[in-house]
Amino acid sequence: MHLFSNLNKAGFDAEQVSIFLHSLAQKYSFLNYTSLGNSILGKEIPLITLGSGERSLLYVGAHHGMEWVTAVVLCAFLQELCEAMKQAHSLYGYSIPLLLSTHTLALVPMLNPDGVSYQIHGIEPENPLYSRVLTMNGGDHDFSHWQANARGVDLNHNYDAGFWDYKSLELKNGIIQGASTRYSGEAPESEPEVARLCNWIRFQRKLRGVLTLHTQGEEIYYKSAEKAAKGSEAIAKKMAQWSGYRLSEAKGLASYGGLTDWCIQTLGIPSFTLECGKGNNPLPASQAISIYASLRKSLFLFPTLV
C-alpha cells in the first residue's frame, strides 16, 4: 500500500497524519475531516467520520508517544475503507456501502500529537514547557521512550474511571508529578486531549462500541475492574480468533483510568484495547504492515459485532 511504502523510519507524526488525512478528504468526498480540538501545544487532533448509519463506532490510536504505529494502522484502515466504499466493494462478505449506510465510523488516529512529537523529534528550547519537561525526563535529551502528553500526563490514566484509586497506587509507587509515563494528572479529564474526546463521546447517543489501539503484546482487553459490557466477551473472542491475539486482563497500575475503562464503566458499551504487535516500544514503522494484516478483519467487521 502507498502509505506503508512511504513511511518514514523515524516515525509517523501529527504533520504526516494531517497531510495523509487531507489527501484522503480531497480524494473521497464522503469522508468528513473535522477536529476534536487542539493539544496542549496547539496541534490539531483530527477526527474523521464516515457513513450515515444509526449505529456508531469509535476507533482511537496513539494515546502514547511511543505508539504512533497505531496511527499508521488506523490511517491504512481508513484508506482501504474509503477505496472499498468508492468502488462499492465487499470485504469479508459485507458490502462496504451497505455497512456505511447502517453504521457511522469515527476515527481519531492520533490522540496525543505532542507526545508523539517528543518521542520522534525530542524537544526544542522554544517549547514553552522546555525546562519543566526536561526535568521530568530526568534531564535527558533522549525522548525516545516518552509516552505522556506535552506536560507529562499519561493520557490513558486521565479518564474518570477508578482515577482516585489509581492516584493512591501512583503515590505508593512514588509517582508524584509529571513524568514520561504513568502520571495520571491532577484530576480526571484535566488534559485537553482527554477532555475533548470525552465531551465528544458524551454527545454520541448512538455510540455502540469503541476500539482503542496501543502497542504492544498482541493482546485484547475487554474488561475493567473485572467487569465487561454485555456481549463483549463474545466479541473479544471473535477478534482474538481473527487476529491471533490473546484475551487478557489488566493488572496493577495499568488497569485504571483508561479510555476502555471509562467507556465500560460510564457508558456500559463494549470497549476494547488492542495491544498491537510484538517487541519493544517503540515498534518500528516496518511492523505497521504486519499489524494491519493481523487486525484488518477485526477493524472492518467490528461494526457488525456490536
Q: Smaller CB distance to Zn ion: residue 48 or 60? A: 60
Please report, for residues 16, 32, 122, 148, 187, the alpha-carbon distance to residue 10 in angstroms, rounded to integers and kept in the order given: 12, 29, 12, 19, 33
Q: Please state the closest distance from residue 63 (CB atom) to Zn ion, in A.
A: 5
Q: Smaller CB distance to Zn ion: residue 44 or 67? A: 67
Question: Could you tell me which stretch among 120-128, 164-172, 207-215, 264-272 binds Zn ion (CB under 5 A)?
Answer: 207-215
Q: Smaller CB distance to Zn ion: residue 67 or 191? A: 67
Q: Please state the closest distance from residue 12 (CB atom) to Zn ion, in A.
A: 15
Question: Could you tell me which stretch among 32-40, 187-195, 214-222, 262-270 binds Zn ion (CB under 5 A)?
Answer: 214-222
Q: Which residues of 197-208 are buried (b: 16+ CB within 10 A; e: fewer)?
A: bbebbeebeebb
157 binds Zn ion per the rule CB under 5 A: no
Gyration radius from the chain CA atoms: 18
| Structural contact between residues 183 and 152, judged by C-beta atoms closer than 8 angstroms | yes
* Residue 241: CA count within 13 A, CB half-sphere: 7
Residue nearest to Zn ion (CB): 214
The C-alpha atoms of residue 205 and residue 90 are separated, in whole angstroms, by 28
Q: Please state the closest distance from residue 297 (CB atom) to Zn ion, in A.
A: 22
Provide the mask over 105-144, with x wherever binding to Zn ion is found by CB under 5 A and - wherever it is not: ----------------------------------------
In 3D space, the residue among 121, 67, 92 whose CA is nearest the CA of residue 273 turns out to be: 67
Tell the burial category of 54 from Cβ atoms under 10 Å away from its Cβ (0-12, 13-18, 19+).
exposed
Q: Smaller CB distance to Zn ion: residue 75 or 259? A: 259
167 binds Zn ion per the rule CB under 5 A: no
Q: Between residue 62 and residue 91, which ones bind Zn ion under the rule CB under 5 A?
A: 64, 67
Q: Please state the closest distance from residue 216 (CB atom) to Zn ion, in A.
A: 9
> H-helix or E-strand containing 195?
helix 192-202
The residues that bridge with 105 in the sheet, in sequence order, are 50, 57
Q: Smaller CB distance to Zn ion: residue 163 or 221? A: 221
Question: Could you tell me which stretch among 75-83, 163-171, 211-219, 248-256 binds Zn ion (CB under 5 A)?
Answer: 211-219
Q: Smaller CB distance to Zn ion: residue 64 or 223? A: 64
The three cell numbers locating residue 22:
487531507
CA geometry: angle at 262 spanning 297 and 199, to 5°?
95
214 binds Zn ion per the rule CB under 5 A: yes
Question: Could you tell me which stretch among 60-68, 158-166, 216-224, 232-240 binds Zn ion (CB under 5 A)?
Answer: 60-68
Question: Could you tell me which stretch among 7-15, 77-85, 92-100, 212-220 binds Zn ion (CB under 5 A)?
Answer: 212-220
In 3D space, the residue among 79, 80, 86, 60 whose CA is nearest the CA of residue 71 turns out to be: 60
Q: Smaller CB distance to Zn ion: residue 119 or 243? A: 119
* Residue 69: CA count within 13 A, CB half-sphere: 26
Binding-residue total with Zn ion (CB under 5 A): 3
| Structural contact between residues 75 and 59, judged by C-beta atoms closer than 8 angstroms | no
- Contacting positions for Zn ion (CB under 5 A): 64, 67, 214
